[in-house]
Amino acid sequence: MKKRFQLTDLDCANCARKMEDAIKKIDGVNDANVSFLTQKMMVDADDARFDAIMQEVVKVCKRVEPDCVINL
């Protein structure tokens, strides 16, 4: 399943790259893209576990950029 999410308060392109790299390492994630310019994130992950994977994505992103909010 591939879904796009709006981000709020993503502060820099470097943080976006770090978030993207961390998301790609999560088990069940096929691909991910985090764009600082558009403030959007795309996650392509296993359909059966998508909600659980997104919970992990939120945790990983909070570690990199505590102020960033993923609008689920």
What pLDDT is attached to residue 39?
98
What pLDDT is attached to residue 15?
96
Residue among 57, 10, 64, 5 at smallest CA distance from 30 = 57
Structure tokens at 31: 């691909």
Mean pLDDT for back-to-back runs of 10 residues, the chain (72 residues): 97 96 98 98 97 97 96 90
What pLDDT is attached to residue 16?
97
One DSSP character per residue, 13-57 reads HHHHHHHHHHHHTSTTEEEEEEETTTTEEEEEE-GGGHHHHHHHH
**CATH number of the domain encompassing residue 37:** 3.30.70.100
Q: How far is CA 69 from CA 40, 46, 47, in A?
A: 11, 22, 23
What pLDDT is attached to residue 24?
98
Residue-number span of the structural domain to which 51 is assigned: 2-71
Cβ atoms 40, 32 nearer than 8 A: no
Question: How many separate domains does the chain show?
Answer: 1
Please state the pTM of the whole predicted model. 0.95
